Amino acid sequence: MINPPVLRQAMADSNTERRLSTRHACAGTSVKAVVLLGGETCTTVIQNVSLGGISVLLDAIVAPEEWLNVELRNSPGGVWFYKQIRAVHVSPARPGQWLLGGEFDQGLSLDELRRLLTHSGKASVVDRLTKRH
Protein backbone atom coordinates (compact mmCIF):
# COMPACT_ATOMS: atom_id res chain seq x y z
CA MET A 1 0.00 0.00 0.00
CA ILE A 2 1.18 3.51 -0.74
CA ASN A 3 2.07 5.68 2.23
CA PRO A 4 -0.25 8.76 1.97
CA PRO A 5 2.48 11.33 2.90
CA VAL A 6 4.70 9.85 0.18
CA LEU A 7 1.82 10.09 -2.31
CA ARG A 8 1.08 13.69 -1.28
CA GLN A 9 4.76 14.63 -1.78
CA ALA A 10 4.84 12.89 -5.18
CA MET A 11 1.70 14.80 -6.18
CA ALA A 12 3.21 18.11 -5.03
CA ASP A 13 6.41 17.39 -6.94
CA SER A 14 4.50 16.56 -10.14
CA ASN A 15 2.42 19.72 -10.60
CA THR A 16 4.68 21.10 -13.32
CA GLU A 17 3.95 20.54 -17.01
CA ARG A 18 6.00 17.59 -18.26
CA ARG A 19 4.68 16.86 -21.73
CA LEU A 20 6.64 18.29 -24.62
CA SER A 21 3.90 17.67 -27.19
CA THR A 22 0.30 18.85 -27.41
CA ARG A 23 -2.33 16.99 -25.40
CA HIS A 24 -5.48 15.92 -27.26
CA ALA A 25 -8.66 15.52 -25.19
CA CYS A 26 -10.29 12.11 -25.57
CA ALA A 27 -13.02 12.12 -22.88
CA GLY A 28 -16.38 11.42 -24.51
CA THR A 29 -14.81 9.67 -27.51
CA SER A 30 -14.27 6.05 -28.53
CA VAL A 31 -10.58 6.14 -27.54
CA LYS A 32 -10.05 3.80 -24.58
CA ALA A 33 -7.21 2.28 -22.61
CA VAL A 34 -7.06 -1.25 -21.24
CA VAL A 35 -4.68 -1.20 -18.28
CA LEU A 36 -3.27 -4.30 -16.58
CA LEU A 37 -3.47 -3.74 -12.80
CA GLY A 38 -2.41 -6.50 -10.43
CA GLY A 39 -3.20 -9.28 -12.90
CA GLU A 40 -6.63 -7.85 -13.82
CA THR A 41 -7.59 -5.61 -16.70
CA CYS A 42 -9.33 -2.28 -16.31
CA THR A 43 -10.92 -0.57 -19.34
CA THR A 44 -11.07 3.20 -19.05
CA VAL A 45 -11.53 6.28 -21.19
CA ILE A 46 -8.34 8.14 -21.96
CA GLN A 47 -8.71 11.69 -20.70
CA ASN A 48 -6.02 13.01 -23.04
CA VAL A 49 -3.20 11.70 -25.17
CA SER A 50 -0.03 13.16 -26.65
CA LEU A 51 2.90 11.74 -28.54
CA GLY A 52 4.63 11.16 -25.19
CA GLY A 53 1.93 10.04 -22.77
CA ILE A 54 -1.65 9.69 -21.57
CA SER A 55 -3.92 10.66 -18.72
CA VAL A 56 -6.49 8.07 -17.58
CA LEU A 57 -9.02 7.61 -14.77
CA LEU A 58 -8.49 4.39 -12.81
CA ASP A 59 -10.53 2.62 -10.14
CA ALA A 60 -7.34 1.62 -8.30
CA ILE A 61 -4.39 3.61 -7.08
CA VAL A 62 -0.92 2.93 -8.43
CA ALA A 63 2.39 4.19 -7.10
CA PRO A 64 4.22 7.01 -8.86
CA GLU A 65 7.06 5.56 -10.97
CA GLU A 66 5.21 2.22 -11.34
CA TRP A 67 5.28 0.72 -14.87
CA LEU A 68 1.97 -0.43 -16.39
CA ASN A 69 1.06 -2.35 -19.54
CA VAL A 70 -1.58 -0.55 -21.59
CA GLU A 71 -3.49 -1.14 -24.80
CA LEU A 72 -4.67 2.03 -26.51
CA ARG A 73 -7.84 1.26 -28.47
CA ASN A 74 -10.16 2.93 -30.92
CA SER A 75 -12.59 0.13 -31.70
CA PRO A 76 -14.59 1.86 -34.49
CA GLY A 77 -11.34 2.36 -36.38
CA GLY A 78 -10.02 -1.11 -35.58
CA VAL A 79 -6.91 0.50 -34.12
CA TRP A 80 -4.95 -0.63 -31.09
CA PHE A 81 -1.41 -0.14 -29.83
CA TYR A 82 0.38 -1.88 -26.98
CA LYS A 83 2.48 0.43 -24.82
CA GLN A 84 4.14 0.55 -21.44
CA ILE A 85 3.67 3.67 -19.36
CA ARG A 86 5.42 4.97 -16.27
CA ALA A 87 3.11 6.58 -13.71
CA VAL A 88 4.46 10.12 -13.51
CA HIS A 89 1.74 11.44 -11.23
CA VAL A 90 -1.29 9.98 -9.48
CA SER A 91 -3.97 12.10 -7.80
CA PRO A 92 -7.45 11.55 -6.39
CA ALA A 93 -10.09 12.42 -9.00
CA ARG A 94 -13.39 11.53 -7.34
CA PRO A 95 -14.39 8.96 -4.72
CA GLY A 96 -12.88 5.62 -5.70
CA GLN A 97 -11.07 6.96 -8.78
CA TRP A 98 -7.55 8.18 -9.43
CA LEU A 99 -6.18 10.32 -12.24
CA LEU A 100 -2.96 8.87 -13.58
CA GLY A 101 -0.60 10.79 -15.84
CA GLY A 102 1.68 8.38 -17.62
CA GLU A 103 4.69 8.64 -19.89
CA PHE A 104 5.14 6.10 -22.69
CA ASP A 105 8.34 4.05 -22.66
CA GLN A 106 8.39 4.59 -26.44
CA GLY A 107 6.23 7.46 -27.62
CA LEU A 108 3.51 7.29 -30.22
CA SER A 109 4.52 8.23 -33.74
CA LEU A 110 2.55 11.00 -35.42
CA ASP A 111 0.96 8.34 -37.65
CA GLU A 112 -0.08 6.25 -34.62
CA LEU A 113 -1.63 9.32 -32.98
CA ARG A 114 -3.52 10.18 -36.17
CA ARG A 115 -4.81 6.61 -36.48
CA LEU A 116 -5.86 6.51 -32.82
CA LEU A 117 -7.83 9.77 -33.12
CA THR A 118 -9.25 9.33 -36.65
CA HIS A 119 -12.49 7.52 -35.73
CA SER A 120 -12.86 9.12 -32.32
CA GLY A 121 -14.97 12.12 -33.20
CA LYS A 122 -11.81 14.22 -33.13
CA ALA A 123 -11.66 14.77 -36.90
CA SER A 124 -10.65 18.43 -36.53
CA VAL A 125 -7.61 17.37 -34.49
CA VAL A 126 -6.65 14.81 -37.12
CA ASP A 127 -7.05 17.44 -39.85
CA ARG A 128 -4.74 19.81 -37.99
CA LEU A 129 -2.15 17.05 -37.45
CA THR A 130 -2.27 16.15 -41.14
CA LYS A 131 -1.88 19.75 -42.32
CA ARG A 132 0.98 20.44 -39.94
CA HIS A 133 3.13 17.52 -41.10
pLDDT digits (tens, 9 = 90+) for 77-133: 788 999 999 999 999 999 999 999 999 999 999 989 988 888 666 555 555 665 555
Could you list the residue range(s) of the whole structural domain that residue 47 is in?
Answer: 4-123
Answer whether residue 132 is part of any domain. Answer: no
Q: How many domains, in total, are found in the chain?
A: 1
Answer whether residue 129 is part of any domain. Answer: no
> pTM score, two decimals?
0.74
SS (H, E, C) 89-109: EEEEEECCEEEEEEEECCCCC
Answer whether residue 104 is part of any domain. Answer: yes
Answer whether residue 109 is part of any domain. Answer: yes
Answer whether residue 131 is part of any domain. Answer: no
The CATH code of the domain that includes 89 is: 2.40.10.220
- Choose between 14 and 121: higher pLDDT: 121
